[in-house]
Structure 1
């Protein structure tokens, strides 16, 4: 108990998702599945090639967003939630896709009473569904979000880089004890952490993160 009889807040622990709890990129796998099941979407994406090439010099994200919009064309919010849940269930059955050591570390933090958040660029419904299918409950999820548009679901917010910190601040968090990541793009999220854990990072990546943070990081090899 803290002074005055107030309960201490539990330590806050952040996990990135892609590359930390799952090997690879879950939303990419979802998009790839959408295109594989719908050849007409592939054709439409090919027809969009001139637009993609025009977008590329300005931003790498713009072409990606266009391809996401094509993959989700015609999906309303209710149908999208259903499709994402179905894919999450399929993915969760592919146990080799998931990082056993990462999931065990997350569960240890939960058992210890820590406040665990998954802060990810993956889409919210998809990552929430995957965690649910894996039997992981009591986890707060801060993720990318889509919105319903006239032609289907569209990107509302891509939760990467500084946006992760902004979303955490909106969630009432400005500092945390531990943060797990595999990407230099997460430096804004890693900076406020007391302990930074770089998962499966190459020596070059770890050096980049340490240089950006101005301090040493913990290195973890997870399988």
Structure 2
């Protein structure tokens, strides 16, 4: 049976379910906190000329991650990520209520929902579990201690999905980033979230009239009920 026949829905994480870059927030607030802050500043200065080139951004992100996590053992780092993810899920305005409602609507309709993200697995899993989405499948980046094993970004997402036996076409895909064009192109209904006019124009040229755009500007705090 094709994935689209099974009602598979592919959902990005950062920018669709959670406002901001979750792992980037972890690096800034935890990994590069305290005595490591000067190192972070030096890294940003050195890598800034490279990071502005889209093709080199994954490489720059890999090095920032490796240096920020240096010296941490796997178990201790996993515990840090779990604590940070639980706190992030409770941060006012951090979660995107419309994205969470969208997932619940698809689940209620019997769709298979898979969150596919460049965010680190433990961190994304903790946030999803904290929002009541423990049953949602997750394909994410993976680390072991300070070492990045899989950077699940761009076309790598297609490779990781195929490794899980999920092949295109899928019925719907949601993303806020044009780095996910391979994911969006493989969807019968691609949905671009909170995109600017330039992103929409480029995506429209590549995806045509089947592209849908949505603006999910409102978040919700931990006290607000995320369901519709």
- The TM-score normalised by the length of structure 2 is 0.84
Q: Give the unaligned 5+ runs of structure 2.
A: 219-228
Match of 1:108 among 105, 127, 148: 105
Of structures 1 and 2, the one with the larger relative CO (CA 8 A, separation 6+) is 2
Alpha-carbon contact 2:188-2:210 (below 8 Å) kept: no
1:162 aligns with 2:155: yes
State the shift of 1:55 in Å: 6.7
Alpha-carbon contact 2:32-2:68 (below 8 Å) kept: no
Alpha-carbon contact 2:82-2:122 (below 8 Å) kept: yes
2:17 aligns with: 21
Q: Give the number of aligned pairs.
A: 212
The farther-off stretch of 88-97 and 59-68 is: 59-68
Structure 2: distance between partners of 1:15 and 1:208: 20
The farther-off stretch of 130-139 and 80-89 is: 130-139
2:38 aligns with: 43
State the shift of 1:50 in Å: 8.8
State the shift of 1:35 in Å: 4.5
State the shift of 1:59 in Å: 2.9
1:5 aligns with: none
1:90 aligns with: 87
Structure 1: distance between partners of 2:48 and 2:198: 31
Larger radius of gyration: 1
Q: Give the unaligned 5+ runs of structure 1.
A: 3-7
Structure 1: distance between partners of 2:129 and 2:10: 17
Structure 1: distance between partners of 2:195 and 2:48: 32
Structure 2: distance between partners of 1:16 and 1:24: 12
